[in-house]
Amino acid sequence: MTSTLFILQIVLAVAIIIVVLLQKSSSIGLGAYSGSNESLFGAKGPAGFLAKATFTLAILFVVNTLALGYLYTKEHQRSVVDKIVPKNNKVIPATPEKAPANNK
């Protein structure tokens, strides 16, 4: 399940990149837009459609990220720190051993 969501995450990331790159730059200025009407996207041209597509893809990306995080932590209960072995390759005991009593 997580591998399917991970592949979907990559596809969503690429789709967001493409949709953002298709949009016009906002540094053009407010009055610099051409007056041509592209009937394929509506009266505002592609700006409204691409903005809605970007918003939808971003919401899907965030939801997929949260689902991946939840499912991954549900599958893997152990931490990476639990697998660390000291340099002397001895397992650290859970409770320290008692020192032998020194009776003289």
Report d(CA 62, CA 13) in Å as an integer: 10
Please check whether residue 31 lies inside any domain of the structure. no
Please check whether residue 68 lies inside any domain of the structure. yes
Whether the pLDDT of residue 83 is over 90: the answer is no
- Residue 17, burial from CB neighbour count under 10 angstroms (0-12, 13-18, 19+): exposed
Higher pLDDT, 90 or 13: 13
46-60 pLDDT, tens digit per residue, is: 668 888 889 999 999
CA distances from 103 to 39, 98, 99, 100 (A): 98, 15, 12, 9
- Domains: count for the chain: 1
pTM: 0.56
Cβ distance 20 to 46 under 8 Å?
no
Across the chain, mean pLDDT equals 76
Please check whether residue 88 lies inside any domain of the structure. no
Please check whether residue 59 lies inside any domain of the structure. yes
Banded model confidence at residue 26, pLDDT cuts 50, 70, 90 = low
Report d(CA 49, CA 54) in Å as an integer: 9
